[in-house]
Structure 1
Amino acid sequence: MTAETIQTDRIPPHLRPAMQALAEAGARLAAIIRRGGDLAQPVGTNADGDGQKALDVIADDLFCQTLAWAGVRWLASEEQEQAVALDPEGTLAVAIDPLDGSSNIDTNVSIGTIFSIYPAEATAEASFLRPARQQIGAGYIIYGPRCAMMVTFGDGVQHYALDPEDDAFRLVATRRQMPDCALEFAINASNYRHWPQPIRAYIDDCLAGSDGPREQNFNMRWIASLVAETHRILVRGGVFLYPSDARKGYEHGRLRMLYECAPIAFLIEQAGGGATDGRTAILEQGAPTLHQRTPFVFGSAEKVARIAAYHELPETEVSALFGHRGLFRA
C-alpha cells in the first residue's frame, strides 16, 4: 500500500489503514476507467442473479486485494454470495458495492463504489446483520469528470478529491451540508403504473407544479446510478425515490440494504437529510441477510418526511387523492 493515498488528518486513527486501502483501490480503479477498453463486456451474474460486467469483476478483485492488508477481518461484497474472511486479527468489517451503476459503463455516465465499515465480531453474520446505525464509517467514490470521495465517520460528511498528479485523495471540505431544499426529484417514471399509491400521489403533486397542491414547479432527474444521484443531492438537495412496486422481484424494493442503502443513509443523515424505506428510517433497520433488498427514499429531510406522511394516510384517502390528481391517467 502506498504511503499517501488519502489525506488522513481528519480520519480516526483506527480507520486509517482501511481508508488508505479504499483510497488506493479507488485511485487504481479510476485509472482503469480512464484508460477504457471493453469494460462493459458481460461476464456472467453475481450472487444475487444480476448481470456482471468485466469492470464489476475487476473492481471486486481490486478492493478485496487491497483491504486484505488493512486490518479488515470480514469483507462482504455485493458480487460475492458469502462474506470473505481476510485477516483473523482484523478489527473491522467492510461491506462494499465495488462498482455501482455498471449498466452505465458503456455510456460514460458517472459510476462509483459504495462502502460501509462496522466493528468486526466473531462471525460475519454478527458483523453485518445488525442495526445500520452501528456503522462507524461509510462513504462512496464517484468516478466522474472529477473523481471524488464522500465519507462520514459519524461527525459530518467529509469531501475528498483525487489529485491526478499523485493519485492521492485530498480534503476539499471538512463538513458537507446538504442544502435545505431543491425543487428536484429523482425517480424512474417509466414504472409509474407499478408504484404503490402513496408514491404516485406524491409524484402527481410534484408534477402538478404551481397549479397543484405544492404550488411550486419541480424538475425530474434520473441517472440510474445511485452514486451519481447521491452526489447531486448532497451538493444541491432534492429527493431520490426507488420504491417497491408490483413487478415480480421488486415487491421488497431493489437496492441492497447492506451495500447501498445503509451507507448512503448514514451519509445523508450526517449531511442533514433523511433516508427511509418510505416510512421508517433506514438506520433504525438492519439487513436480515447479506443481500436483502429494500425500498429507498432519501434526500432533503422535509421531502423525505412528506413522503412518509403520504404512506401514513388511510388507504381510502390516498386513493381519493390519486383519483383526483392522477396526471398520467386519461
Structure 2
Amino acid sequence: MQHSALGDYCPEHLADTMDALCLVGARLTKQIARGVLGGDLGAAVGDNFGGDQQKALDVIADEEFSAALTGTGVRFYASEEQDDVVELDSSGSLALAIDPLDGSSNIDVNVSIGTIFSIFPANADAHSSFLRPASEQIAAGYIIYGPQTMLCVTFGRGALTFVLSPDTDRFELAAADLKLPERSSEFAINASNYRHWPRPVRAYIDDCLAGAEGPRGKNFNMRWIASLVAESHRILTRGGIFLYPGDEREGYARGRLRHVYECAPIAMLIEQAGGLATDGIDRILDLTPETLHARTPFVFGTPDKVERVRTYHDLPDAEVSALFGNRGLFRP
C-alpha cells in the first residue's frame, strides 16, 4: 500500500479502499494545517440532510473521499453529507459509510477534528447494505487531525494505530494491539444539558460529581471537546467513559449522533480495544438502524463504567428517583 504501512494487517480485498482513505487523510492534513491561509474552511455553506450546519471543509472532505474511493472496490458510498447512498462502482463488493469531517464546529478554533468510516460487504440493495446490525461491519476506524494525524482502525482482529509521518506522507505503525486502560477517573458529557437528561444519566453523573465523599468513593474529572473523534481518541488512550444521551429537548429524544456514520464504527473500534459501547442499555453492535441518518444515544468506554450506566437504566423508576432525590447536586 502506497500511503500507509497497513501491509499484512489489512485484508487484501480492503487494501485499495484503505489506501484511498489514507491518501485523502494525508491531503486533508495539509489543507487543515494551512488554516485561514487556505481559505475560510469553517465558513457555513448550508445544512445537511440531518439539519446540521455544513462547513466548507465538510463539503471539501466529502468530495475528496468520494472521488478517491471510486474504483477501489466500493460499490455504495453513504456519507453524512449526502442525502442518500451514492453508487460509485456497480461491480464493487464493499459498502462504505463515512462522516467525512467530524467535529467541524471546531474548525475555526484549531481543535482536533477527524474522519470516521465504516465498511460492510455490499448487498444487492444500497440501503440494506447499511441498515443492518453493526456487528456485520468488516472494518471501522477514524483519522484524527490533531498535533499528530493518526489512523485508528480495526479489521475485526484488534485495534491498530498509525501515525502520519510528515517526512514520508505515509501512515506508519504506532501500536499493533491497542487496549483501553482498565482504570480511569474521567467522564465526558456536555454538562450544560444536565436539566434535560433522563434521570438515570443525571443520577450517574451526580454520583461521579459527589467525589470521594459520595457513593463512588473517588474523585472524577470531566472532559468535553464536542468532537466525537477527539473524545474517542482520548478514551482509547486514557480510558474513561463518554455519554451522549437522548434528552427532553425537541429533536434530541435519540441524541444527536448518527448510528451509521458515527456510533457503529466507533463502537466496533472501542470493543476491539477491550471497551464497551451501548445506547445506555443495549449494545450498539447488536442494533440495526431504521434509516440512513438515524440517531442513537451513545455511551462507550471502559466496560465497568458503561455497565454501571446500564445498571442505572435498569433500576425501577422509583429507585432512580430516590437516588436522584438524595444525591442530585444540581437539581433545577
TM-score, shorter chain, exceeding 0.5: yes
Partner of 1:6: 4
Summarize deviations over 1:90-129 as a string: whole Å, max 9, x none: 0100000000000000000000000000001111112100
Contact 2:195 2:331 (8 Å CA) reproduced: no
| Amino acid of the structure 2 residue aligned with 1:60 | D
Give the match's secondary structure for 2:271.
helix
Identify the residue that residue 313 of structure 1 maps to in structure 2: 315
Q: Could you say what secondary structure the match of 1:30 adopts? A: helix
Conserved in 1, the CA contact under 8 Å of 2:163 and 2:174? Answer: yes
- Tell me the alpha carbon deviations over residues 3-41 of structure 1, each in whole angstroms, 9 at most, x when there is no partner: 511112211111111100100011111111011121001
The answer for the alignment partner of 1:327 in structure 2 is 329
| Runs of 4+, deviation exceeding 4 Å | none
* SS of structure 2 residue aligned to 1:25: helix
Corresponding position of 1:270? 272
Mark the runs of 5 or more structure 1 residues left unpaired by the alignment.
Answer: none
Partner of 2:250: 248
- Does residue 1:258 correspond to 2:256, yes or no? no
Whole-Å separation in 1 of the counterparts to 2:60 and 2:169 = 19
Q: CA deviation at 1:166?
A: 2.0
Give the partner amino acid of 1:137. A
* Alpha-carbon RMSD: 0.8
Q: How does 1:217-228 map to 2 (within 5 A)?
A: 217-228=219-230
Alignment partner of 1:82: what SS?
coil
Which residue matches 1:17? 16
Letter in 1 for 2:56: A
Match of 1:291 in 2: 293
CA distance in 1, matches of 2:53, 2:322: 40
**Take 2:181 and 2:331, find their aligned partners in 1: how far apart are those partners?**
34
Moved more, 94-103 or 32-41: 32-41
Alignment partner, residue 239 of structure 1: 241
The one-letter amino acid of 1:31's match is K
Match of 2:187 in 1: 185
Retained in 1: the 8 A contact 2:179–2:236? yes
Q: Which of 201, 206, 209 matches 1:207?
A: 209
TM-score, normalising length: structure 1? 0.98
DSSP 3-state at the match of 1:293 = coil
Deviations 1:174-218 (A, max 9, x none): 110000010000000000000000000000000000000000000
- Segments of structure 2 that go 5 or more residues without pairing to the other structure are none
Q: CA deviation at 1:286?
A: 1.4
- 2:81 equivalent in structure 1: 79
Q: Give the number of equivalent residue pairs.
A: 328
Aligned counterparts of 1:10 and 1:170: Cα–Cα separation in 2: 12
Q: In the TM superposition, what is the alpha-carbon distance from 1:288 to its structure 2 partner?
A: 1.0
Q: Show the counterpart of 2:29.
A: 30
Q: Distance in 1 between matches of 2:181 and 2:308?
A: 17
Match of 2:95 in 1: 93
Q: Does 1:40 align with 2:39?
A: no
**Counterpart position of 2:142:** 140
Aligned equivalent of 2:283, options 261, 281, 303 = 281
**Residues 257-289 of structure 1, C-alpha deviations (whole Å, 9 max, x = no match):** 000000000000000000000000000001110
Of all paired residues, the percent bearing the same amino acid is 63
CA distance in 1, matches of 2:181, 2:115: 24
- The answer to whether residue 54 in structure 2 is matched with residue 52 in structure 1 is yes
Q: Give the 3-state SS of the residue equivalent to 1:174 in structure 2.
A: strand
Aligned to 2:232: 230
The residue identity in structure 1 corresponding to 2:276 is G
Partner letter of residue 294 of structure 1? T
